[in-house]
A and B are shown apart, each in its own frame.
Chain A
Amino acid sequence: MVTARIAYVFRITVAVFPAVAAIAACKPNFDERASEVRNYRILAIRAEPAEWVKVIDPDTGTAKLASYSALVVNPLGTLPSEQLQWAFCTLPKPLTELNDVSIACFEQSADYIMSLGDGPNVSAAIPDNACRQFGPDTPEDQAYRPADPDGTGGYYQPIRALYYPTDDLVVPALGKARIKCGLPGASQEQTSIYNRTYHLNGNPTIDSLVAIRASGETPVVAREDQADAAPLVVGPSESLDLRAAWAACPATDACGDGYCGPTESKDGESSAGGCAADCSPEKTCAGAERYMAFDLETRALRERRESMRLSWFVAQGGGIVRDDRTGATEEETTVATTNRYTAPAVPGDYPLWLVLRDSRGGVGWKSYVVRVQ
């Protein structure tokens, strides 16, 4: 247990008519930081593909599966995560709960928990009624309230991941697989355009990490890219900037640029946005993709860009990052984000994890090693 430190976030001394007034707001600061790994943690859950739509495999006649994996760590490094239990939760969240899913999803009930198996990753097809349970589709004969989309217009199937590092310890986590559903309240024409121009999300990728010193820049290679990659070597207590970058996606659509954008579709004339080269199959971009969304206020389709969010994680005692999270908003076109890293004073090898998320639920991660010497 860590003792919280109370810190007055501001203190003011006021002298008026020779009297003194002092105001101090009173918000406690906590020692624990989201970027610091102190125990077993699940840092990310990823679905591949990042967005689900039911596609029948012509060879098997069954739906193609999506695979789910997780980044599980402890202060010593990345864990193999064999002790992960996976399940779909099929229970919608009541309006009386303010979380993302019904708390019942973390209870054991065969009525709404659909086990997917154990292990570092599992594969499964999303339940057929997902858009009905968690999306806008409602049975024609029953006037149920459609679920509300997130800010990007997306709906999600909850995935429960329970990690059991020991017999008496469980680390619960919630993943959400984005599912493509219909549009609530849109006209047929809008739905038709949307179905043609909305393209499934792709998971983002951390392209590079660079250490920036006054003396120059040093690329850092991730363990996922090269298992025996050289660590980032720093001096004890050294501070340096780390810049992480993701892929730059085309700002405008051009057929043949390797990205199926929101004005392109697999069918039709090229003058009308048809681009089989990029859209059949749909080619995604591992950065901030543009996508078509339905604005509930204007009731019109409009093009948007994903915001990107990079989560920085270090092990307890393995240094400090200035900001727990950095990123780029929807309006920002930058493809990189920088954070300040201060190395620990004690020599040794320390893990560093970066998790990149786009606003449509896509996830990518990389693991690094920092050597203090």
Chain B
Amino acid sequence: MRVSPRIGTALKGAIRPHENDSAFLLDPHRRDVPGRDRMRRYDDWDEVDLVIVGCGAGGGTLAQRLARRGWRIVVLERGPFWDPDEDWVSDEAGSHELYWTDKRIIGGEDPVEMGKNNSGHGVGGSMVHYAGYVPRFHPSDFEVFTRDGVGADWPISYWDLKPHYERVERELPAAGEWWPWGDPHGYPHGAHPVGGGADVAMEGAMNCGITMKVGPVGIVNGVFGNRPHCIYRGFCLEACKVGAKASPLVTHVPDAIEHGAEIRADSMATRIELDESGRCRGVVYQRDGREGFQRAAAVAVAGYSIETPRLLLASTSKRFPNGLANDEDQVGRYVMVQGAPQVAGRYPGLARMYKAPPPEICSEDFYETDPERGFARGFSIQTVAPLPIEWAQHVLADGHWGRAMREYMRDYNHWSVLGVLCELLPHSNNRVALTGEEDEYGLPIPRFDYTQSPNDRANIAFAKDKLHEIWEAADAQDVLTIDRYAHLVGGCRMGASPQESAVDSDHRAWGIPNLFVADGSVMPTQGSANPALTIMALASRLAERLA
């Protein structure tokens, strides 16, 4: 059923989300999650209905949904249970604890740097420090192979996910203008005002005939339970102390706790144990230097594209000598990142890009395949707004250090930055594997190899040229360019058979009936959209399938 476009715009303001009271359970005067002191605790020997590994976009959403259905749930989260008032700061360098910074080896021809750019740590996962963009995938993303003869098809379609996109958008809540691309839709909250940086970028895009729209961001813009309004302080990537930006910590965890889930923080899962019949019986984990074993009737892994494959590969046994769900050597393969070069433009006026949220305006004009461009699939364009340390990296990447670097840095307030997200295709050799070296938990350190294909390189080059065109059309006085990557999905992709995937369309590991993968690693393709919303929508759908 297609929802009338009018409904999206009519439903502005304080719509109460369906079966999720998180925003109302929060304290209006303090930012830590209420109810932790009376949170239900399960004993290790008590067999819970489900143990979830990881409390990010996937694990947090899945826990909330199933706790609501009466499931007895334990979530093992490696990082801390954040108290935003005490633990988070309005500062770049002071936010190091938000990232997964354990050692990872990177290789391949085009290695992907890990850490702050693409890995989270703690309750809320990487959504704690994501920019806040929450676009949907397009219907075409689910049938890339059929349409373009590259990549893969999903075993599910956009229309399977659509009701979950709508439900999660109400829970975040998503704010933005009417969205004309993909499956056109509106958002529950209206668009936020834009800052100086986005103003000048919008003008350049308009001069090039490119449509840009404000949003969509998971940032409260109006009355929403006890979640405050955004104060436009610009530190979205350093975790939202305000509580206006959505992450599972504020959107799903409060409701999960209220319905009996235990979020067991500071607990690193090290191994999934099987019984003699080949079913999971629980998860071994380490907390405060002690090993525990949580018994469970089912296990869902939601550790994201590096840690999920790593845990499955490390859980070897006589029956599964190559790791779980890996009889066909599929686990850890087809890991994807998006090509994300950024180009900054210089203006006479002071744009002060540190003000207002960095995620502001987007264009999906180039999202779909255009045969004229000479490569398959496309990219999206978005504003970003680096704070001083990130801006210094941008200046360095353009080749400036010493006195030249200081000059460009002093010029900070005159600049505005546009970035692209290029859809890079899934390749089997872009994979996570285990090294021979062990970490403090005795787990093998993971290694991630990444190499671009000619189609990937052509996409990135075209998109970068397009950004330069926009700045030229906006009469920018100077430009600075940086090449980089963004996001991380794939590694345990869903598919129609165990020969080409790690899990089935219900996220169930091939060959193990009570093991599920509930994070971004199940994605067979990634589109040019930021993945957070789709990871949540997938977890929401999985819960519906399980319940």
Partners in one complex: no
Question: B residues near A, CB below 8 A?
Answer: none
